[in-house]
Amino acid sequence: MATTANEDYIKTIYALESSGQRASTSRIAQRLDVTMASVTGKIKHLAAAGYVRHTPYYGVTLTPKGRKLALHTLRRHRLIELFLVKTLGLRWDEVHADAEVLEHAISDKVLERMYEYLGRPEFDPHGAPIPAEDGSIKELTGVRLSDLPSGARSRVLHVSDADGEFLRYLASIDFTIGTAFTLRDRAPYGGPLRIRIGRRELDIGPDAAERILVCPS
């Protein structure tokens, strides 16, 4: 019933909804790199199967059944990413593509073994919360690094797993999940943010800062 394509569509709709965007045909098509015609067709199927409600010419919302499938797939994706990093030693910037495939192939039995093996983790390698078996998920209550007031002490909480290039950059400057730092100040007119990590000083561009979620402490 839940094919690879179905799960990827549902995940995409969930991602749009939880970032406050309307799950429109065009946005789904863009994210999945398929045509709008394909999305319209799939939406009809997902609606008939009870995963989404469809308002023609407007968009789609997940039903409880759809939300459950989204979270189950996300749990798989994030546990797999963590497993690949922790157990097999892959880098955080190279696990997303593998997880995108394996999330549809791993049985519940193997998944729960991985979960136990990893010590019932709560976050994936990019700081995203791993949904629980019952479909509950922790909210990420962070703020954008770009919104942090000067002088604030904080920790890196989350970065999107989608852009490998950006993840490699962050790794290269050693600015990874959990890193504690102080925001010294920000240069004016879109200049870099000056950050202190222990004894180390670091400059981060404003575009990068917008993509980093931090936890003020």
Partner DNA sequence: AACAAAAATTAGGCAAGCCAAATTTTTCTG
Partner DNA sequence: CAGAAAAATTTGGCTTGCCTAATTTTTGTT
Q: Does 98 bind Mn ion (CB under 5 A)?
A: no
Nearest CA to 165 out of 113, 96, 216 is that of 96
96 binds, among a copy of itself, DNA, Mn ion, none (CB under 5 to 8 A by kind): Mn ion
The angle that helices 4-18 and 36-48 make with each other, rounded to 10 degrees, is 100
Q: Does 58 bind DNA (CB under 7 A)?
A: yes
Among 18, 38, 176, 182, binds DNA (CB under 7 A): 38
- The b/e string for 49-87 (b: 16+ C-beta within 10 A; e otherwise) is eebbebeeeebbbbbeebbbbbbbbbbbbbbbbbbbbee
Q: Within 10 A of 192 (CB to CB), how many other CB atoms are there?
A: 14
Number of residues in contact with DNA under rule CB under 7 A:
26
Q: Does 90 bind a copy of itself (CB under 8 A)?
A: yes
41 binds, among DNA, Mn ion, a copy of itself, none (CB under 5 to 8 A by kind): DNA
Q: What is the largest CA-CA distance in the chain?
A: 58
Q: Which residues contact 108 (CB under 8 A, 6 or more apart)?
A: none
Toward a copy of itself, which CB reaches closer, 111 or 195? 111
Q: Does 87 bind a copy of itself (CB under 8 A)?
A: yes
**Residue at token pair 């996300």:** 74
* Rounded-to-integer distance, Cα 58 and Cα 179, Å: 42
Nearest CA to 193 out of 206, 177, 212, 174 is that of 206
Toward a copy of itself, which CB reaches closer, 105 or 187? 105
Q: Does 61 bind DNA (CB under 7 A)?
A: no
Site string for DNA, 15-34 (x = CB under 7 A): ---------xxxx-----xx
Rounded least distance, CB 105 to a copy of itself, Å? 4
Q: Which residues bind a copy of itself (CB under 8 A)?
A: 84, 87-90, 94, 97-98, 101-102, 104-107, 109-110, 113-114, 117
Which stretches of the chain bind DNA, using CB under 7 A?
3-6, 24-27, 33-45, 54, 56-59
